[in-house]
């Protein structure tokens, strides 16, 4: 194939082709957790691509992540362009000229996923967000939305989540938001040992997989 792969991680199912899922990483960067998530998607028949928004850099501590995340947001127009490029690559890679993609985003990536669905509705058919929010009216989007949120999240106030849900519903979108008791930010990331909740993470995966399978037939 002639398409040029942007910086990132591509996971392909054994069949060689599957519905495209764009994965946007948290403020840690494109680490093994995100790569493992992409492989898990591929194992279930999806073609997953996670663009490397940090271009090779990875953070292990909150302090380092704050630096990288702030730098990305300061240059958000380039980040948005990188994400559109990644989506177009994935669409070409999966030969989905007549079918839109799904996008799954963690924390920092959520703002960009919401933005992508709203500014490029022709590309995105479904959005899955993990413990992150955004502000906007999202009236241009044509996507369905699934959200997974922590019960006690010091980085994403419940008021932000509630406002996002209201905005999406007012814009006429299909929305399903879930809150997971006893969890905090990063509860789905196994490398964050202080936050990881295996039972909650498994439930988010089951719900995400069912949602992707349902919306990919639209």
pLDDT, mean of residues 24-39: 97
Residue-wise pLDDT tens digits, 178-203:
999 999 999 999 999 999 999 999 99
Say which residues have a Cβ less than 8 Å from residue 24's Cβ, sequence separation at least 6: 50, 51, 53, 83, 103, 104, 105, 106, 108, 109, 110, 112, 113
Q: What is the pLDDT of residue 93?
A: 87
Query: Tokens in use for 80?
Result: 């948005």
Say if residue 160's pLDDT is above 70. Answer: yes
Q: Say if domain 8-215 classifies as CATH 3.40.50.1820.
A: yes
Query: Tokens in use for 90?
Result: 């994935």
Residue-wise pLDDT tens digits, 72-102:
999 999 999 999 999 999 999 886 667 899 9
Pairing, β 124-130 against β 144-150: parallel
Q: Transcribe 152-181 into DSSP letters.
A: S-SSS-HHHHHHHHHHHHHTT--EEEEEET
Q: What is the pLDDT of residue 1?
A: 44
Give the count of beta carbons closer than 10 Å to the beta carbon of residue 46: 24
Q: What is the pLDDT of residue 156?
A: 92
171-134-127 Cα angle (round to 5): 65
Which percentage of the chain shows pLDDT scores above 70?
96
Q: What is the pLDDT of residue 218?
A: 42
Say if residue 17's pLDDT is above 80. Answer: yes
Q: Where are the domains of the chain?
A: 8-215
Q: With beta carbons less than 8 A apart as the criterion, state whether 109 and 26 touch.
A: yes
Radius of gyration of the chain (CA): 16
Per-residue confidence band for 216, with pLDDT thresholds at 50, 70 and 90: confident
Residue-wise pLDDT tens digits, 119-136:
999 999 999 999 999 988
Pairing, β 47-51 against β 8-11: antiparallel
Residues 136 and 143: their CA atoms lie apart, in Å, by 14
Only one residue has tokens 């922590």, namely 150
């Amino acid at each position: 194939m002639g398409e040029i792969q942007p910086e990132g991680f591509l996971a392909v199912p054994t069949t060689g082709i599957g519905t495209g899922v764009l994965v946007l990483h948290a403020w840690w960067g494109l680490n093994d957790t995100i790569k493992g998530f992409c492989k898990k998607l591929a194992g279930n028949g999806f073609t997953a691509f996670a663009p490397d928004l940090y271009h090779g850099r990875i953070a292990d501590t909150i302090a380092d992540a704050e630096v990288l995340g702030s730098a990305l947001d300061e240059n958000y127009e380039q980040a948005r362009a990188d994400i559109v490029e990644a989506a177009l690559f994935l669409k070409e890679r999966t030969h989905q000229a007549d079918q839109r993609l799904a996008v799954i985003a963690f924390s920092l990536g959520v703002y960009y996923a919401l933005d992508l669905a709203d500014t490029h509705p022709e590309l995105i058919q479904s959005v899955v967000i993990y413990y992150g929010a955004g502000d906007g009216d999202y009236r241009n989007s044509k996507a369905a939305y699934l959200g997974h949120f922590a019960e006690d999240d010091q980085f994403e106030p419940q008021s932000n989540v509630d406002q996002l849900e209201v905005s999406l519903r007012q814009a006429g979108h299909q929305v399903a938001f879930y809150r997971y008791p006893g969890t905090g930010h990063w509860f789905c990331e196994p490398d964050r040992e202080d936050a990881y909740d295996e039972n909650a993470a498994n439930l988010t995966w089951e719900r995400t997989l069912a949602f992707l399978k349902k919306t990919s037939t639209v």
